[in-house]
């Protein structure tokens, strides 16, 4: 209980304290988005493998580069803008530098993995290794009318001090569910550092009248780090009534933020209702929860699958500055010993201010 209270308190103070510390000008929190993501396999009537994830992220409105924190400014060479590394400009660059806008963000993320057998006090054979990871992220977002590049640097920790066990025990106590007994054999404690990049491109969209419309994006990205190294491609479409102008990842990921892609205008309609669907294909070169921490001689007992695919579908609703969505994901096996595909749900709550 004390651990969770401490984490919540730290998270609630994270955004203003970082903004105050990093900006040279007088503190002006300004408009932005605060988003909470919650993944849980209880929505799939399961309690195993990837069992829970939580992420709190804040992203600013459009800012000039001089008003962005020093940590996020250090990510600029990877954004694809006119000052980026030449290779990134060629691959991810923008057509008109005058139309490029910037946002910066911070995030706090926790992921949790458990086996199916919760009674055993030792790690069950051929089941997912107990693992937890908690990380603080710093991001820079560069965009024009058709493209968004997101770069995020995440520094985290695995093992006991990820507090994954504390979080699970707390939630299980609230729901009167038996605790998992094998956390003493989770992957070891190790500090991790990861750099993630994702590019999203706006898809042609149709507006059937002033009420009904459809939009979407394609995406590709890569992540290099000691917690996870991977590459991905994917896409998403939305259709519904009075689609909100923000264009956001509905699920928890290393770069999940609420984005107001193309405009800072206030929504013209006080509410929105929409459906969404999408897919993602991933090539995974390293995963600390399956391969073990990079700098420890530790065997998880799992054999990582090099390719993983997933599809998802969901629904969202907005009323004025508050937006809530639910997406359900079906994911292929992530390790060879896994007993069938996994599925879980994601609830996201977004607040514009």
What is the per-residue pLDDT across 190-238, written as a single tens digit (0 to 9) for each? 999 999 999 999 887 777 777 898 988 999 999 999 999 999 999 999 9
Q: How many domains is the chain partitioned into structurally?
A: 1
pTM of the model: 0.88
* pLDDT single digits (tens) 140-162: 999 988 889 999 999 999 999 99
Instruction: Give the count of beta carbons closer than 10 Å to the beta carbon of residue 212.
Output: 14
Whole-number pLDDT of residue 302:
96
CATH number, domain containing residue 145: 2.40.128.140
The larger pLDDT score, comparing residue 164 to residue 89, is at 164
Residue 111's domain spans which residues? 2-352
Q: Which of 34-48, 68-82, 94-108, 184-198 has the lowest mean pLDDT?
A: 34-48
Cα–Cα–Cα angle for 237, 254, 216, rounded to 5 degrees: 10
- Strand ranges inside 115-255, DSSP E: 131-143, 147-158, 191-202, 206-207, 212-225, 228-241
The contacts of residue 11 (CB under 8 Å, 6+ apart) are 56, 108
* pLDDT single digits (tens) 267-281: 678 899 999 999 999
The answer, yes or no, to whether residue 30 has pLDDT greater than 60, is yes
Mean pLDDT of the chain: 87
Averaged pLDDT for residues 42-69: 87
Using DSSP bridges, classify how beta strands 342-352 and 49-60 pair: parallel, antiparallel or unpaired: unpaired
Question: 200: closest CA among 267, 275, 263, 145?
Answer: 145
Using DSSP bridges, classify how beta strands 271-287 and 212-225 pair: parallel, antiparallel or unpaired: unpaired
From residue 325, give the alpha-carbon distance in Å to each of 269, 275, 308, 330, 332.
18, 9, 24, 17, 23
Phi, psi of 92, deg, nearest 5: -125, 15
The answer, yes or no, to whether residue 2 has pLDDT greater than 50, is no
């Amino acid at each position: 209980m004390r651990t969770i209270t401490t984490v919540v308190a730290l998270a609630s103070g994270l955004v203003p304290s970082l903004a105050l510390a990093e900006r040279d000008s007088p503190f002006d929190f300004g408009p932005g988005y605060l988003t909470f993501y919650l993944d849980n396999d209880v929505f799939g009537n399961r309690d195993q493998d990837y069992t829970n994830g939580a992420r709190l992220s804040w992203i600013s409105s459009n800012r000039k580069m001089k008003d962005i924190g020093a940590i996020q400014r250090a990510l600029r060479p990877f954004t694809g803008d006119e000052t980026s590394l030449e290779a990134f400009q060629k691959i991810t660059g923008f057509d008109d530098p005058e139309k490029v806008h910037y946002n910066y963000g911070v995030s706090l993320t926790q992921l949790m993995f458990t086996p199916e057998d919760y009674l055993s006090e030792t790690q069950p054979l051929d089941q997912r290794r107990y693992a937890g990871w908690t990380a603080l992220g710093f991001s820079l977002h560069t965009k024009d009318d058709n493209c968004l590049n997101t770069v995020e640097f995440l520094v985290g920790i695995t093992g006991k001090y990820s507090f994954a066990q504390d979080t699970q025990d707390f939630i299980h106590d609230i729901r009167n569910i038996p605790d998992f007994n094998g956390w003493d054999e989770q992957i070891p404690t190790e500090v991790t550092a990861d750099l993630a990049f994702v590019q999203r491109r706006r898809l042609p969209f149709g507006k059937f009248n002033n009420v009904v419309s459809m939009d979407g994006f394609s995406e590709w990205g890569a992540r290099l780090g000691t917690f996870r190294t991977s590459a991905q491609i994917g896409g998403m479409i939305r259709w519904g009534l009075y689609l909100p102008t923000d264009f956001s990842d509905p699920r928890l990921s290393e770069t999940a933020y609420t984005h107001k892609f193309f405009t800072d205008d206030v929504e013209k309609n006080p509410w929105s209702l929409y459906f969404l669907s999408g897919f993602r294909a991933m090539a995974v070169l390293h995963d600390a929860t399956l391969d073990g921490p990079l700098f420890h001689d530790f065997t998880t007992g799992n054999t990582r699958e090099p390719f993983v695919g997933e599809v998802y579908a969901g629904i969202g609703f907005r009323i004025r500055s508050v937006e809530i969505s639910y997406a359900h994901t079906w994911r292929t096996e992530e390790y060879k010993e896994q007993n069938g595909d996994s599925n879980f749900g994601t609830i996201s709550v977004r607040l514009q201010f």
